[in-house]
C-alpha cells in the first residue's frame, strides 16, 4: 500500500532523530556533560538536595523576597515545572516504553541523575548572565550566557542564534506546542469513549485548549507565572494521588516492574503481543530522548524562566533547578512507568501507536473512571506546558528579531495548538524529539565551556556559608 505524505514525512524525521539519539551521539554527550558538571560542582545534586528542598519550601510561602528579578523563585520553579511536567510525563513515558521497552525507563533515570547537575548549572548561568531588553524587562537563557560568556564572539553569536532558532521551532512545532495539544485531545477522546461511550472528534478539545491558552498568553510572563504558581502544585497533587492509589492496589507488582526495567536496560526486549521488541541501543535512545523531553535538562529551556527569579545569588536558583528535575522524572515519570508496565497494556496491539491514551487505559485497569482523571491531568499538564513554552519561544523570537515580533509570534503559537490536536501521533512526537536534540547542542557547548564559572560560583556560595 502506498504511504501517505504524513507517513513519508514521519519516516524521514524519525530517521534523523534516530541518528541524533543513537547511543554514541547525543545520549553519550548529555550524560558525559552532566557527569562533568556533577564532578565540577562537587555532587551538587546529592550534597545540596536538602538545601534545594528547604529553599523551595520557603519560597512557596514567602513572597517578599529580596534580590533583583521579575518573578519569585517559586514562580520560576512553577513556570519551569509547568513546561517540564507536561504530557511528556503522561504520553512521553508511554511512547518511550512502546519504542524502547521497559529498559528505556532505566536510561530515563540515568538522564535525570546527571540532569540535576545540568539543570543546576543552567539556572546558575541564567541568573548570572541575565540582561535587560529594549522593553525594560529582564531576559535570560542560553542565548545570553553563550553570547556573553564565550570568548569567541563569532562562534558565540552563531551558537546563540542556533539555540534560538531551534528553541522557537520546538516551541511552535515540537514538544512545547503540538505534542501537548495532541496528547490532550487523545486522552480527552479516550475518556469520552470509556466513561460516556461517546465518540468525540479530536478538533473539539483542540478548540477548547486553543482558546484558553490564548487568553492566558495575553498577560505575558507575570500572568503566566501567576497561573503556573497556582496550577502546577494542584495538578501534581491530583496526578500523584491517583498514582499512589494505583500503586497501593498493585503494590505486589513493584518488584516485578523494577526487575523488568533493570533487566531490559542491558538486554534486548523480546517481542510480546503487539510490542515488536527493542534492542539495548533503542532502549537507550528512547529513554534519553524522552528523559530530555520530560525534564529538559540540557535543552536550555528552563534557564529562560529560572534566570529572571528574585535571588541574591545564582546558586540559590540553581538548587531550585535540582528539585525541578527530581519532581519531574524521579517522581512523576517513574509513577507513570509503573502504571503502564504493571498493567500489561504496553504489549497490547491496540495501543502500539498510543501516547497518553495508553496511560489512561492502564490506570483504568484498577481505578474506575481513571481515564477521566488522566484526561483532566493531561489537560492541566499540557495547558501549563503550553503557556510556559510560549514564553520560552517568545524570548527566542525576541532575541532573533526584536520586540516587534512578540505579538505575531503569540498568534502563530496559538494557531498551531489547534493543528497539533488533529495531526498524527508518530509525526508530532518524532518532530518534537528531533527538535529537542537540535536545541540542546548549542546549549551543551555553552555549558561545557562555562563549567569552570559554575564551579567557582558554587564554591563561592556554599563555602561562604550563605546557604539559602
Beta bridge pairs of residue 269: 278
Asked if residue 140 lies in contact with residue 127, where contact means CB atoms within 8 angstroms, the answer is: yes
1 pLDDT tier (thresholds 50, 70, 90): very low
Q: State yes or no: pLDDT of 352 exceeds 90.
A: no
408 is a domain residue: yes
Is residue 141's pLDDT more than 60?
yes
Of the pLDDT bands very low, low, confident and very high (cuts 50, 70, 90), residue 467 is very low
Element (H, E) at 138: strand 138-139
The answer to whether residues 293 and 117 touch, using CB atoms and an 8 Å cutoff, is no
Residue 63 is predicted with a pLDDT of 55
Average pLDDT on 122-149 reads 92
Position 43 pLDDT exceeds 50 = yes
Rounded CA separation 437/285 (Å): 11
pLDDT at residue number 238? 86
Contact status, residue 413 vs residue 393, Cβ threshold 8 Å = yes
Mean pLDDT of the chain: 85
Cβ neighbour number for residue 3 with a 10 Å cutoff: 10
User: H helices of 2-69, where?
Assistant: 5-20, 26-40, 44-47, 49-61
Distance of CA 466 to the CA centre of its chain: 31
**358-409 pLDDT tens trace:** 888 899 899 987 878 877 877 777 787 888 888 899 999 999 998 888 889 9
Query: Confidence class of residue 219 from pLDDT cuts 50, 70 and 90?
Result: low
Bridge partners of 341, per DSSP, are none
Residue 310 clears pLDDT 70, i.e. is over it: yes
Q: Which range among 180-194, 267-281, 431-445 shows the weakest confidence by mean pLDDT?
A: 180-194
Q: What is the pLDDT of residue 233?
A: 77
Distance CA 341, CA 272 (A): 13
Q: Is 233 exposed, middle or buried (0-12, 13-18, 19+ CB in 10 A)?
A: middle
The answer to whether residue 467 sits within a structural domain is no
Position 286 scores a pLDDT of 86
* pLDDT for 335 beyond 90: yes
Looking at per-residue pLDDT, the higher value among 174 and 106 belongs to 106
Most confident of 50-64, 221-235, 368-382: 368-382
Q: Is 95 helix (H, G, I), strand (E, B) or coil?
A: helix
Give me the number of domains the chain comprises: 1
Domain of residue 109: give its range. 22-460
Kindly report, residue by residue over 373-383, the tens digit of the pLDDT.
Answer: 877 877 777 78
Give me the DSSP letters along 272-286.
BTTB--B-HHHHHHH
Whether residue 397 is contained in a domain is answered as yes
Residues 400-446 pLDDT 10s:
998 888 889 988 998 898 888 887 767 777 888 899 889 999 999 99
Question: What does the alpha-carbon distance between residue 351 and residue 343 come to, in Å, rounded to a whole number?
Answer: 12
Is 114 part of any domain? yes
Q: Supply the DSSP string of 29-42, one letter for each residue.
A: HHHHHHHHHHHHTT
The DSSP 8-state label assigned to residue 269 in this structure reads B
List the CATH number of the domain containing 190. Answer: 1.20.1740
Predicted confidence (pLDDT) at residue 151 exceeds the cutoff of 80? yes
What pLDDT, in 10s, does the model give residues 89-132? Answer: 777 788 889 889 999 999 999 999 999 999 999 999 999 999 98
**Mean pLDDT, to the nearest integer, of 197-225?**
79
Backbone angles phi and psi of 308, in degrees to 5: -105, 15
The reply to whether 256 falls in a domain is yes
State the greatest distance between any 2 C-alpha atoms of the chain, in Å, as a whole number: 68
Q: In the predicted model, what is the mean pLDDT of residues 6-11?
A: 83
Residues 120, 299, 171, 133: what is their CA dihedral angle, to the nearest 10 degrees? Answer: 60
Whether the pLDDT of residue 64 is over 70: the answer is no
Question: How many CB atoms are located within 10 Å of the residue 62 CB?
Answer: 11
Cβ within 8 Å of residue 155, ≥6 positions away: none
- Calpha distance 257→338 (Å, rounded): 7
In a domain, 4, yes or no: no
Instruction: Give alpha helix (H) positions in 178-329.
Output: 178-195, 203-217, 220-249, 254-266, 280-295, 303-306, 314-325
User: Which string of b and e fits 35-46 if b means at least 16 CB within 10 Å?
Assistant: ebbbebbeebbe
Among candidates 438, 397, 411, 447, which has minimal Cα distance to 174?
Answer: 438
Beta-bridge partner residues of 71? 309
Q: Which residue has the higher pLDDT, 328 or 457?
A: 457
CA 97 distance to own-chain centroid: 17
- Residue 234 forms part of a structural domain: yes
Please check whether residue 387 is in contact with residue 213, taking contact to mean a CB–CB distance below 8 angstroms: yes
Segment holding 131, helix H or strand E: strand 131-132
Going by DSSP bridges, is the β-strand pair 138-139/131-132 parallel, antiparallel, or unpaired? antiparallel
11 assigned to some structural domain = no
Mean per-residue pLDDT for 54-75?
A: 65
Amino acid at each position: 500500500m502506498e504511504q501517505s505524505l504524513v507517513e513519508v514525512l514521519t519516516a524521514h524525521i524519525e530517521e534523523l532523530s534516530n541518528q541524533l539519539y543513537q547511543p554514541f551521539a547525543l545520549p553519550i554527550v548529555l550524560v558525559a556533560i552532566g557527569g562533568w558538571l556533577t564532578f565540577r560542582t562537587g555532587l551538587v545534586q546529592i550534597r545540596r538536595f536538602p538545601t534545594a528542598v528547604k529553599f523551595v519550601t520557603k519560597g512557596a510561602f514567602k513572597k517578599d523576597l529580596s534580590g533583583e528579578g521579575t518573578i519569585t523563585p517559586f514562580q520560576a520553579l512553577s513556570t519551569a515545572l509547568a513546561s517540564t511536567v507536561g504530557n511528556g510525563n503522561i504520553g512521553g513515558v508511554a511512547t518511550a516504553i512502546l519504542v524502547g521497552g521497559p529498559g528505556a525507563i532505566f536510561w530515563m533515570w540515568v538522564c535525570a541523575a546527571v540532569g540535576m547537575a545540568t539543570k543546576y548549572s543552567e539556572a546558575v548561568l541564567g541568573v548570572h548572565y541575565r540582561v535587560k531588553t529594549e522593553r525594560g524587562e529582564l531576559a535570560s537563557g542560553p542565548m545570553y550566557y553563550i553570547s556573553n560568556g564565550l570568548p569567541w564572539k563569532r562562534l558565540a553569536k552563531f551558537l546563540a542564534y542556533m539555540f534560538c532558532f531551534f528553541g522557537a521551532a520546538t516551541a511552535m512545532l515540537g514538544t512545547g506546542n503540538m505534542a501537548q495539544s495532541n496528547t490532550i485531545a487523545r486522552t480527552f477522546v479516550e475518556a469520552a469513549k470509556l466513561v460516556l461511550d461517546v465518540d468525540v472528534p479530536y478538533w473539539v478539545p483542540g478548540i477548547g485548549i486553543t482558546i484558553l491558552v490564548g487568553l492566558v498568553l495575553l498577560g505575558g510572563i507575570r500572568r503566566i507565572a501567576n497561573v503556573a504558581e497556582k496550577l502546577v502544585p494542584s495538578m501534581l497533587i491530583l496526578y500523584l494521588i491517583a498514582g499512589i492509589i494505583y500503586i497501593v492496589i498493585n503494590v505486589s507488582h513493584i518488584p516485578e516492574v523494577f526487575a523488568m526495567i533493570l533487566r531490559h536496560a542491558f538486554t534486548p526486549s523480546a517481542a510480546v503481543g503487539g510490542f515488536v521488541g527493542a534492542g539495548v541501543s533503542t532502549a537507550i535512545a528512547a529513554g534519553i530522548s524522552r528523559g530530555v523531553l520530560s525534564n529538559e535538562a540540557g535543552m536550555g529551556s528552563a534557564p529562560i524562566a529560572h534566570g529572571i527569579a528574585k535571588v541574591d545569588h545564582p546558586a540559590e536558583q540553581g538548587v531550585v533547578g535540582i528539585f525541578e528535575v527530581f519532581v519531574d522524572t524521579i517522581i512523576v515519570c517513574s509513577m507513570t512507568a509503573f502504571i503502564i508496565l504493571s498493567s500489561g497494556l504496553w504489549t497490547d496491539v491496540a495501543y502500539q501507536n498510543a501516547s497518553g491514551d495508553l496511560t489512561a487505559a492502564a490506570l483504568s485497569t484498577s481505578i474506575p473512571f481513571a481515564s477521566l482523571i488522566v484526561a483532566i491531568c493531561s489537560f492541566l499538564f499540557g495547558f501549563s506546558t503550553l503557556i510556559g513554552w510560549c514564553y520560552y519561544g517568545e524570548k527566542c523570537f525576541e532575541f532573533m528579531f526584536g520586540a516587534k515580533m512578540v505579538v505575531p509570534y503569540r498568534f502563530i503559537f496559538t494557531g498551531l495548538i489547534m493543528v497539533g490536536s488533529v495531526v498524527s501521533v508518530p509525526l508530532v512526537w518524532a518532530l518534537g524529539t528531533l527538535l529537542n536534540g537540535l536545541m540542546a547542542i548549542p546549549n551543551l557547548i555553552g555549558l561545557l565551556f562555562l563549567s569552570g564559572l559554575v564551579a567557582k560560583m558554587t564554591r563561592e556560595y556554599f563555602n561562604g556559608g550563605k546557604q539559602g
